[in-house]
Structures are given as C-alpha cells and as structure tokens.
C-alpha cells in the first residue's frame, strides 16, 4: 500500500473516531450525543404532528407546499443520521467486534427501522407508487423513538430486577434511586400530553377551528383522559411503597387526599361526569374545567414547589396582611354605599356591589363601570386609591422577599451538600448527577454552578490544607499525595490559594527538619547526586534556621 493510501486511511480513521465521539459516544460527557438524539426525537414528534395535520383539509390544502418542504427536510435529516451511524459502526462497541461491523449494524433492529422509515421515499423516485401510501409509511418513523426508549427500559429493568411489580410502578411514576432515565421519559410524556390537551381546550373554544376539528378534539380528549386516568391509577396503586402511605386501603386513601392527587383527579373527572350524567344534566360547562390539567405541571416544576413552601412558611404573616386588606375593603365598601346609594341606586344598590367597587379601586384597576359622583364618594376614592398602592403591595412584597430567602436557603443547602461530597476530595459520577439535578431545580446556569463548585473547592482546599491525611483532587481523580494537593492548573487560577499552599508546604518541611537528625541530613544534602542546587539551597536555609532555634533554646 502506498504512503498516500496509508495517510488517507489514517485520516479516515481519525475523522470516523471524531464523528463517533462527537455524536454517538455515550461514554463521553461533554459532547453532542444527547443534543443530537434529542434533536432527532423532536423531528420524529414533529413528523407525527405533521402527519396528523395533513388529515385536516382546511390546514393542509392551503399549505401543501410547506408540508412538502418539511417532509423533504425531515427525510434529508433522517438520511444523514442513517449514513452517519453506518459510517461510524466500526467505532461502536456493539458492532466493532464483528467481522464486518457495518453489515452487523445494517442487520440490527434499529438500523432496519431507520432504513424502512426512509427507503420507501427513495424507491418512489424509481417506481410508481401511491403518494398516500408513501405518506402513511411515515408512521414507521414513530418506531425510531424506540432507539431512545429501549436503553431506558433495559436500564430500568436491570435496576429493578429484584423488585416487586408494585415497586416498579412506583419507581416509574416517582423519582427513586432505581428510576433511571425511564422516569424522566415518562414525566416528559405526561407533560407533553398536558400541554396538548390544554391547547385543545383553548382552540376548541374558537368556533371557526372547532367547526373543522370537532371530531379530532373529541378523539384527542379521549386519548388524554385515558393517559391521565392510567397515570392516576398507577400513582394510587403504588402509593403504599412510600413509607408515609403504608396500608392497603388507608395508605391509598391518604395518598388520594394529597393536593397533587386531587389535581390529577380533577383533570379527568369532568370527562367521566359528562359521560355518565349527560342525560340528566347539561354538563357541557364542565369542559372548561379541563383546564385544571394545567395544574398537573406543578408536579414537575421546582419553582412551584418552592412557592408552595414559601406560602406555607409565611402564611401567618400573610394572614395578617390579608386581614388588614379585607378590613379596609369592607370599610371602604360600607362608606361607598353610605355616600353613593342615594345618588346612584342602580350602581351602589347594596354593600356586596359596593365591595366590587372597593376591590377594583384598591387594586388600582379602575374599570370605570362603577364610579362615585358625590364629593364624599370621590374623596373616599382618592384615599382608597392611595392606600391601595401600599396595601395590595404588602402580600406581593412578602412573597417576593420570602421566595428570595427560600432560594438563598436552598442554595446554602446545596453548598452544604457540596462540602459533604468534597470531604473525600472527589466528586463521583453519581454525586455529579445529583449536583446537576439540584442545579436544574434551582434554575442555576452552568456558569453559576461552576462558580459554586469552585468556591466549595477553594474553601474545602483551605480547610483540608491542615489535615495531613486529606486526599484532595479537583479534576475528578483521587490522589494520595500530600495534604491539600491541587492541580497546577487550578492553583494558577487562584494565586492567593497558591501562596497558602506554599506556606503550608514550608511549614511541613520545617516540621520534618525539626524531627530529623541534622548531621545525617547535612551529609545527604552535601551529595550533589541526591538533590539539585535549588533544593540544596532551600534545605540548607531550613537546617540553618532550625540550628539557630536549637541554640536559642539551649
């Protein structure tokens, strides 16, 4: 083989390895593997949505060219994905041991799904085929989702192989040490359907849209209710796995009485009530309550959980502010009724109607549908408007301050956890995942998380510097070196810490010299084969300093 051919083969190997590491190697943390798979997943979901929208004439007929462009782009993306996976197959551990790695990949189930999802469209360019059949074959792209789902399922089964069926259900719907990625996929699936069902309720209220999509809305709502009902039953069935809800019946009843469980029930209850009691009552108004499904998202948001904690903690103060606010509203309503009833009996007909005026005025909304006309009434309005600026702002200020404090407390708790994790000087992979999950819940950016980690490492480094048995490593690899040892790269970025480390090292050297035989040390140092000139000079200074101390003591 010529030198040029060898050079080309070497370049091809490097490119192939680089492509695999960038887009398909799950063992490397900082690459584009997760982003690439997430992008492909979004494209599959968008293709399924496009396939559904194509069945709606009012949408498809006027935008047929846009659908065609999207289909061509999707086909190109999926083709590039298949070609890349085939190209890097020799680098994939699943196929690299085969005699012909690319052939092994070609025969694998996922490769067959990838190929079948795009092949019919290329065949359609050479053979006559019904376009409707080709469109229907795009449903095969849905099977590509199993590429992301299958590893998660295998991981979940492996983590829970010795667990009961009920615990597996519990681990699927709740965050546990054995939940794995399948739990996150399940959460995203429920969140997606919550958003879809809420959007359907909103668009259903638009007559022009509901006229064309009425049947589709009914089908979508039926599927959503089936999914939410299954989720609700799974949570109730598996709740005794939680120590707080032990008991075959009482535990499940206590679990069903939780606010989150009540929200889950309200999300599906209107559908069943309307189906069962429609012949007795007109329950169409219950359809609006399907918007309660939006509250299900509170389960998956750390921000709402923090807000609930804040409200619970600050409720005594909030009660005082609400009491003052209600007192002022009632007083203003009574005075408004007193001064305006005779002048405007139709608007200030009674005190409840005056309460509406009082709230609107205090809240600085001022709709203008009810306004005073008497001098006394207008004077009261001026006072109310000025008081309302402060009175209605009190609860908002309390919540704002308390939420800020709660976030600070949670970040301090996170710092405490970081200190605990850094006691051995090493952040393991599991600890890193916990840190990232907590940072995501607290809405910390990657930069903020990095700063917190560096701060914890610096402070722990200073603390460990006085511990002769400490093992510190800031690059994720344990070391057995001296106390407080840190990488040179880390010390180069923190000169003040480098100075501290230097002082500590000199102090350690002084301690070693003080407990050693000075004459033997001098003999060892005088031999140029044992130490360098710089080391000899420094050690001579230490020996001289120690000798002077001994003379002074004597």
Residue by residue, pLDDT tens for the chain (554 residues) are 566 777 778 888 889 999 999 988 878 877 888 888 888 888 888 888 888 788 777 788 888 889 889 888 988 998 999 999 999 999 988 888 888 899 999 998 888 888 887 887 777 666 665 555 556 666 677 777 777 788 889 889 998 988 999 999 999 999 888 888 888 889 888 988 888 888 888 888 888 788 888 888 888 889 999 999 999 999 999 999 998 898 888 989 999 999 889 888 888 888 888 888 776 666 666 667 777 777 777 776 666 777 777 888 888 878 888 888 888 889 989 999 999 988 988 888 889 889 998 888 888 787 878 888 899 888 988 888 888 777 777 777 877 888 778 777 777 777 777 777 776 666 776 777 677 777 766 667 777 777 777 777 776 654 444 343 333 333 333 333 333 445 566 667 667 767 777 777 787 777 787 777 777 888 887 887 777 877 788 888 877 777 665 555 55
Contact 50, 70 (CB under 8 A): yes
Contact 413, 406 (CB under 8 A): no
Alpha-carbon distance 13 to 88, whole Å? 9
Residue position matching structure tokens 């390895």: 17
351 token code pair: 């005190």
Alpha-carbon distance 485 to 197, whole Å? 56
* Per-residue model confidence (pLDDT) at position 227: 93
Could you tell me the maximum CA-CA distance found in the chain, to the nearest angstrom?
A: 113
Alpha-carbon distance 303 to 193, whole Å? 21
* Per-residue model confidence (pLDDT) at position 203: 85
Alpha-carbon distance 360 to 480, whole Å? 70
3-state class (DSSP) for residue 536: helix
Helix, strand and coil in the chain, % to nearest 5: 75, 0, 25
* Per-residue model confidence (pLDDT) at position 176: 86
Alpha-carbon distance 73 to 94, whole Å? 30
Alpha-carbon distance 188 to 239, whole Å? 21
Sorted by where each starts, the structural domains of the chain and their CATH numbers stand as 13-145 (1.20.120.350), 160-300 (1.20.120.350), 305-391 (1.10.287.70), 396-513 (no CATH), 516-553 (no CATH)
Contact 235, 242 (CB under 8 A): no
Alpha-carbon distance 467 to 483, whole Å? 6
246 token code pair: 């032990």
Alpha-carbon distance 203 to 218, whole Å? 12
Q: Which residues contact 373 (CB under 8 A, 6 or more apart)?
A: 340, 343, 344
Q: Is the Cα dihedral 352, 353, 358, 360 positive or negative?
A: positive
pTM over 0.75: no
CA nearest neighbour of 252 among 174, 244, 264, 168: 244
Cα dist from 407 to 218, 292, 432, whole Å: 42, 27, 21
Half-sphere exposure of 281 (CA within 13 A, CB side): 10
CA dihedral 68, 69, 70, 75 (to 10 degrees): 90
175 token code pair: 């965050």
* Per-residue model confidence (pLDDT) at position 473: 38
Q: What are phi and psi of 477, to 5 degrees?
A: -115, 130
Instruction: Centre a 10 Å sphere on the Cβ of residue 415 and count the other Cβ atoms it contains.
Output: 15
69 token code pair: 């462009």
Alpha-carbon distance 148 to 145, whole Å? 6
CA nearest neighbour of 340 among 307, 380, 309: 380
Question: Residue 439: enclosing H or E segment and its boundaries?
Answer: helix 429-441
Instruction: Centre a 10 Å sphere on the Cβ of residue 314 and count the other Cβ atoms it contains.
Output: 19
305 token code pair: 């959980």
- Alpha helices by DSSP H, 160-206: 165-173, 180-204
3-state class (DSSP) for residue 301: coil
């Amino acid at each position: 083989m010529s030198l040029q051919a060898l050079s080309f083969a070497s370049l091809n190997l490097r490119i192939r390895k680089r492509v695999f590491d960038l887009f398909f190697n799950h063992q490397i943390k900082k690459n584009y593997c997760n982003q690439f798979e997430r992008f492909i997943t979004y494209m599959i979901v968008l293709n399924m949505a496009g396939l559904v929208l194509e069945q709606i004439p009012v949408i498809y007929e006027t935008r047929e060219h846009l659908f065609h462009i999207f289909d061509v782009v999707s086909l190109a993306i999926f083709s590039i994905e298949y070609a890349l996976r085939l190209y890097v197959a020799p680098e994939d551990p699943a196929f690299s041991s085969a005699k012909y790695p690319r052939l092994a990949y070609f025969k694998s189930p996922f490769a067959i799904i990838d190929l079948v999802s795009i092949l019919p469209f290329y065949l359609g360019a050479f053979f006559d085929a019904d376009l409707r059949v080709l469109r229907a074959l795009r449903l095969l792209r849905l099977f590509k989702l199993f590429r992301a789902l299958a590893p998660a399922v295998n991981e979940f089964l492996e983590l829970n192989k010795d667990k009961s069926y009920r615990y597996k259900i519990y681990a699927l719907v709740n965050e546990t040490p054995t939940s794995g990625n399948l739990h996150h996929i399940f959460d995203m699936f429920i969140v997606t359907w919550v958003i879809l069902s809420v959007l359907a309720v909103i668009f259903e209220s638009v007559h022009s849209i509901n006229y064309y999509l009425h049947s589709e809305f009914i089908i979508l709502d039926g599927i959503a209710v089936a999914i939410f009902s299954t989720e609700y039953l799974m949570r109730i069935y598996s709740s005794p796995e939680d120590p707080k809800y032990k008991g075959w019946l009482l535990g499940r009843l206590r679990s069903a009485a939780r606010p989150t469980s009540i929200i889950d029930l309200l999300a599906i209850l209107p559908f069943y009530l309307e189906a069962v009691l429609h012949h007795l009552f007109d329950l169409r108004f219950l359809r609006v309550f399907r918007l309660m499904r939006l509250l299900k998202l509170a389960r998956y948001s750390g921000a709402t959980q923090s807000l609930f904690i804040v409200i619970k903690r600050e409720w005594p103060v909030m009660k005082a502010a609400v009491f003052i606010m209600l007192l002022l509203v009632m007083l203003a309503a009574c005075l408004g009724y007193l001064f305006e009833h005779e002048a405007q009996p139709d608007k200030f007909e009674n005190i409840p109607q005056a309460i509406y005026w009082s709230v609107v005025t205090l809240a600085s909304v001022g709709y203008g549908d009810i306004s005073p006309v008497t001098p006394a009434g207008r004077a009261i309005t001026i006072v109310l408007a000025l008081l309302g600026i402060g009175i209605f702002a009190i609860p908002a200020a309390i919540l704002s301050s308390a939420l800020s404090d709660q976030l600070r407390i949670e970040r301090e708790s996170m710092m405490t956890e970081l200190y605990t994790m850094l006691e051995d000087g090493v952040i393991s992979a599991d600890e890193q995942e916990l840190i990232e999950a907590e940072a995501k819940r607290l809405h910390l950016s990657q930069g903020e998380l990095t700063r917190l980690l560096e701060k914890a490492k610096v402070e722990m480094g200073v603390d460990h510097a006085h511990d002769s048995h400490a093992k510190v490593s800031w690059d994720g690899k344990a070391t057995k070196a001296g106390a407080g040892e840190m990488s040179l790269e880390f010390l180069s970025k923190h000169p003040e810490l480098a100075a501290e480390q230097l002082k500590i090292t000199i102090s350690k050297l002084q301690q070693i010299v003080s407990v050693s035989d000075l004459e033997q040390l001098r003999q060892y140092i005088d031999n140029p084969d044992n130490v360098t000139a710089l080391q000899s000079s420094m050690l001579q200074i230490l020996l001289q300093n120690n000798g002077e101390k001994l003379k002074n003591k004597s």
